[in-house]
Chains A and B, each alone.
Chain A
Amino acid sequence: MTALNEEIYQGIPASPGIIIGVTKSFARNHDPILPDTVDDPELEVQTFRSAIAHIKDALENISTSVLQKHGREFSRIFDAQAMIAADDVWNKNIERRIMNEKLCAEYLYDDEARKVIAKLEESQDSYLKERIQDIHAVTSRLVAQMRGEKHVTMKNLKDATVVVARYLLPNDILAMSFGRNLGFATGVGGPTSHAALMAKSLGIPAVIGLGDVPETVPSGADVIVDGYNGLFILNPSTNTIKKYRGMKKAQLELKRQLTELKAKPAITRDGVRIEIKANIELPNEVSKVLSAGASGIGLFRTEYLFLTRSDFPTFDEQYEAYALVLRKMGEKPVVIRTFDMGGDKFPGMRGSLFESNPFLGWRAIRFCLDRPAVFKVQLRALLKASRCGRLEILIPMISNYEELITTKNIIEECRAELEAEKVRLPKRIPIGIMLEVPSAVMIAEHLAREVDFFSIGTNDLIQYTVAVDRDHEMLSRLYQCFHPAVLSLIKASVKAAHRYRKPVAVCGEMAADPLAAVLLVGLGVNELSASFQMTGILKKIVRSITYSGARKIAARALTMKTHAEIESYLKNEIARVFPDIMPVIQFTRRSQEPSLRKDQGSLSAIEDTTSVERSSDG
């Protein structure tokens, strides 16, 4: 056996953690159809059979409905395709090849189809030549179906697997989330893309923004994913593996320390209480939130309700989901955000709508106010569920005063309707808004009077302030969380809210950055909400600092001119003033310069972190 050279790639750390394992390539439809080997050819044959049966049914159904709507001339196309799919002689041959060659069905199908296509291309008969399209259509359906079914079998991934792909969608990750000891590495995506948020939420270590690398890595390669430093290490050397084993051990040690903080509140050394809450994507994360010791749920995103369906979730489905979370959280507050759909979150959901700029488009509250029937189902489900715990309703994407007032009126309408139906509701259900559009921050004084709390969505606020698409590969450098404009907006939000004695939360990714957390506390933010993995870390940070010290740091940062200047100031000043939290920062903070590097230099990042192990051992 020849030892392969270690290759280190620097990506963006999307979700913390370390996986030492082997790769599993996740091919997408438009990816080339490669002769991937299959471990279990019998299973592959079964999957192939059910895929074919499914395709045949689908094509027959299409044919029937096309016949009714457009006549036989068009339906015939689908009949021809259904017949190709139903070619038993042909399919038996594919099955034989799967068993003999142990290769994936879609590759073999394509391989055989190419032979026919080559023949048809020689033909003089244009009608016959057109059948090439039919064969392509069936092949691509098969690829989609096979890969779709493999999504499901991803559930059974063995231990220590790193899924490599150009990109992953939230539903891909959802399908994989049952695997233990799973990580992923993708080519595209920024640190706050929905896939990254979901990985974080599910505790799956992830590195993204690796360019072409993940696509070119075959299944079965030895790999390490370092979700702390954003490193993707192919064919790691024995030394590197040893280092990472050490790092995993140190990670466990820190975890142990953080466990001790679970039952303790987050109070600064000079006695200021900061609420540390958790964001969730799925109701089943509640138990993790509770065991992490969060004082509530700061953001329950409700978009997941759409992930596995193409229509709107019903009142009952929604009520069940909301009530479940509220009941489980008991006395602890739960902030549920109304649908924040649109943008990158619902690909294909409204296929008929074309938006050249979806982030500036018909999304979130804009959609809801235009579709009051849909919105009211959600609001009624929320209000009814409010009897099960301490609900707070959060409205996303408010950009002007009227939207807030209209929304409040609709909520009142829903309340009146429910009460008319003799549903008894709590007297007061707090209503807050997301501050994520700069125009809302600029009129925060007006808005503060009308709401019970603000929640700053830093991901979108930064994106809209600096005009940078947060998922843009080329621009992640310009997506600056410490941009002085961002700091000023946060400061202004806090000032307006506190004037009316309303609390301010930060529920974006920024709350999960230890340096930023200190800054946010210093800016007067009352509550930090991040993924549950961050709960212990944030508590440790708050308990290690003083409010007065953080205020000074923030005041100074507000006078600075650039992101870089502020970031380096925070690094140095926090290390100087609050040395206790440096190990935590080293372990959790992402490196800020994503660039593709192959050199050994990036190993220094690992050495920095392994030193934590030594200090925590002592």
Chain B
Amino acid sequence: MVEREVAIVNRLGLHARPAAQLVQKASKFESEIKLKRQNLEVNAKSIMGVMMLAAEMGSNILIIAEGPDEREAVEALAQVVQGKFGEE
């Protein structure tokens, strides 16, 4: 299992449109990926879950992955979050 805590640098926070990118990215990995913020833990491959998480207050999120590609998964998702979610 690999974990990493990342700070959200996006001015607007983790909102729905970028949340979609995050879900799309997460879905490419075989590992089970969880996102955690405050007391809420959601599946990173679920748009409904990620939106729920996005609504939680707080500036950091924890990425937890478990599976054959867990390392790559955490790395990729951390980049999505820190890369400002590729604000359009």
Contacts and interface: CB of A to CB of B under 8 A. Distances in A.
A127 B46 contact: no
Contacts of B15: 125, 127-128
Interface string A89-103: 110000000000000
B16 A128 contact: yes
Nearest to A76: B17
A562 interface: no
A120 B52 contact: yes
Interface in B56-77: 56
Given A89-B43, A125-B15, A127-B17, A116 B23 contact: no
Given A116-B51, A120-B51, A127 B45 contact: no
B29 to A, nearest CB: 13
Q: How large is the interface on B (under 10, 10 to 19, 20 to 34, 35 or more residues)?
A: 10 to 19
Nearest to B16: A131
Interface in A70-100: 76, 79-80, 83-84, 87-90
A80 B20 contact: yes
Interface residues of A, number: 23
B56 A119 contact: yes
B47 A127 contact: no
Main secondary structure of the interface of A (DSSP, over half): helix
A123 interface: yes
Main secondary structure of the interface of B (DSSP, over half): helix
A90 B55 contact: no
Given A127-B15, A127-B17, A115 B52 contact: yes
Nearest to A127: B15
Interface in A118-168: 119-120, 122-123, 125, 127-128, 130-131, 135
Given A125-B13, A127-B15, A84 B47 contact: yes
A157 B48 CA distance: 36
Contact of B16 (A89, A119, A127): A127
Given A127-B16, A128-B54, A128-B55, 13 more contacts: A79-B20, A83-B47, A84-B47, A87-B46, A88-B46, A90-B48, A90-B49, A119-B55, A122-B55, A123-B54, A125-B15, A127-B12, A130-B16
Interface of A: 76, 79-80, 83-84, 87-90, 112-113, 115-116, 119-120, 122-123, 125, 127-128, 130-131, 135
20 contacts: A79-B20, A80-B16, A83-B20, A83-B23, A87-B49, A88-B46, A89-B45, A89-B46, A89-B48, A90-B49, A116-B48, A116-B52, A119-B51, A120-B55, A122-B55, A125-B12, A125-B13, A125-B15, A127-B16, A128-B54
